Amino acid sequence: MEDKSNISSQVNNVDSRRDGQVDPGTGYVDSHKTGEFERYISLPGFFNFGFTLQASWEIAGIGMAVPLLYGGPVSMIWGTLSAAIGHFFTSLSLAEMASMDPTVGAQYRWSARFARSHNEFWGFIQGWITTFGWLVGTGGSLVYLAIQTQAIIAFYNPDYVPEGWQAALLMWAYLASAIVCNLYFRRILNVFETVGGVCHVLFFVACIIILTTLSERSSAKYVFTTLTTGVTGWNNPGVNYHLGLAGVMFSIGGYDSMLHMVDETQRPKERVPMAMVSAVVCNSILTIAYYMVLLFCIGDEEAVSMAYSPILEIYYQATKSKAAATAVLLMHMLITLVSTYNVIASSSRLVWAFARDKGLPMSSFFAVIHPRLQIPVRALGLVSVMTIIVSLINIGSPTAVQTILSLSIVAAIVSYIPPIALLMIRKLKGEHPRYGPFKLGRWGLPVNLIALCFCVYGSFWASFPVALPITGNNMNYAMPALVTLITLCIGDWYRSGRKRFEVPTGRYNIDFGLPDPDEDKDQVEMK
């Protein structure tokens, strides 16, 4: 295999600007002939895109049944804090790479560029992992929305028995609204995202005020030291604590979504890194604060734990009004729905990018952009089909929600490992890439190492069996599914992938073998 470790010198072979040409046979624009989307997203719109996509405290609230059951308050508070720290260091590592080379393909393109050999192979495998993670993760927030909709129905009709097929239909309804939004709301995205960001904060303030003024208080001991064990068969405190991490890692994750929108963002090298890190920091603070308030104002813990929707029960106990509790839950669901719009937009751009680089089968079919709508409609269709498949999984398994969350978390976190590890190897070999406006300097290696350890740690526990005894119904299939995916990818690589896949190089040159600029500065100061 040809060594392309210095492939970065070929910066204009892929992604350079080309005049768009409409294929007369399809009526679409071939992405190989267009090169770029229109750059229409402003700085406030881009920041709010990532800020609302995470929908951190809202998803943490409506998904609190998972950490409340598996670890309790300790997992919710200290688990969220540890996940926030890990995500912060990971976002810093990704931000540094984004400043060097902001590209839609992000992780898989960086893996191909930073690898010292077999660049095509690393980029190909990484591309499948990243794309798979986002295709599965798209269904995560839809599952939450469907469950909470059923919870509202059961709240007013005690005789109602939620069924899996009903949840699937509800997921399809929310998915349809997201598709329509992606097709026709592009021109108002900046205003739409800004309104979403404002509501993200205002709803948080409103919820805090309601709970702190109307609820009974729990003790600090309960909030900070209570660890739930034995509910799922696991009696080991450490295992129970870590099982609760899946939900909290999901609520703060997803920040690489901003990278997949860089071709539609103005001045990405400067804006993408800071917007991504800022979104992680702000959402982490909101999530930890919200969990603390929820636990201090939880009321009857047993009733909350037994409720179909714990968050709905907490607000009902606080307000003594079904209408008020429902209104608060709808606040959570509204921002989660906005988050779903953004997740689907980001996922479709990633699918389009991987198809453009001929990583997917039928790449020429998916790597096209609609000439009028200026979006990858066929890639959007693939994301929608995969989301429907995920919704069908929810019918057959009582633990499908946990499995879907685990799958998306494991695939997403694992996708961060190769580019960070390969960049660390470059740094250790003295082949420092040329930094962009955002750089970690001498702190780069320690930050990268912490991020790498967190990704390995998080992916292990997100794929851990959630209950004992382990059966076919409660088995966590996240890691087996990922291993199966990688095996299939390797098979596809040797069958045809190595012939069709193009090592992506991007528009931005990344020179290797350069000294660290901070080290040069230190040497000058010493002299």
pLDDT at 372: 83
Work out the number of other CB atoms within 10 angstroms of the CB of residue 352. Answer: 29
pLDDT at 400: 63
Q: Give the burial class of 258: count Cβ atoms within 10 A of its Cβ; 0-12 exposed, 13-18 middle, 19 or more buried.
A: buried
d(CA 376, CA 382): 10
Look up residue 192 and give its two tokens: 């739409």
Q: In the chain, what are the domain boundaries? A: 7-526
Work out the number of other CB atoms within 10 angstroms of the CB of residue 162. Answer: 15
Query: pTM score, two decimals?
Result: 0.87
CB neighbour burial string for 11-49, b if at least 16 within 10 angstroms, e if fewer: beebbeeeeeeeeeeeebbbbbebbbbeeebbeebbbbb
pLDDT at 380: 93
Q: Is 422 in a helix, a strand, or coil?
A: helix
pLDDT in tens, 33-75: 444 577 778 888 888 888 898 889 999 999 898 888 888 999 9
- Angle at Cα 279 formed by Cα 47 and Cα 419, nearest 5°? 100
Look up residue 190 and give its two tokens: 């900046």
pLDDT at 3: 45
287 in Cβ contact with 57 (< 8 Å): yes
Q: Please give the class, per CATH, of domain 7-526.
A: mainly alpha
pLDDT at 103: 87
* Torsion (CA) 70, 72, 74, 78 in degrees, nearest 10: 70
d(CA 35, CA 477): 38
pLDDT at 475: 81
d(CA 378, CA 385): 11
pLDDT at 399: 62
Q: List C-alpha distances in Å: 157 to 6, 63, 146, 150.
A: 64, 22, 16, 10
pLDDT at 507: 52
102 in Cβ contact with 272 (< 8 Å): yes
d(CA 406, CA 480): 11
Mean pLDDT by 10 residues, the chain (527 residues): 42 37 41 57 84 91 88 92 95 93 89 88 91 84 90 94 90 93 80 90 96 93 91 86 82 88 86 92 95 94 91 95 96 93 91 91 88 88 90 70 74 91 90 85 93 94 85 80 89 90 63 51 36
Q: State the helix-helix crossing angle for 400-428 and 80-100, rounded to 10 degrees.
A: 50
d(CA 164, CA 401): 11
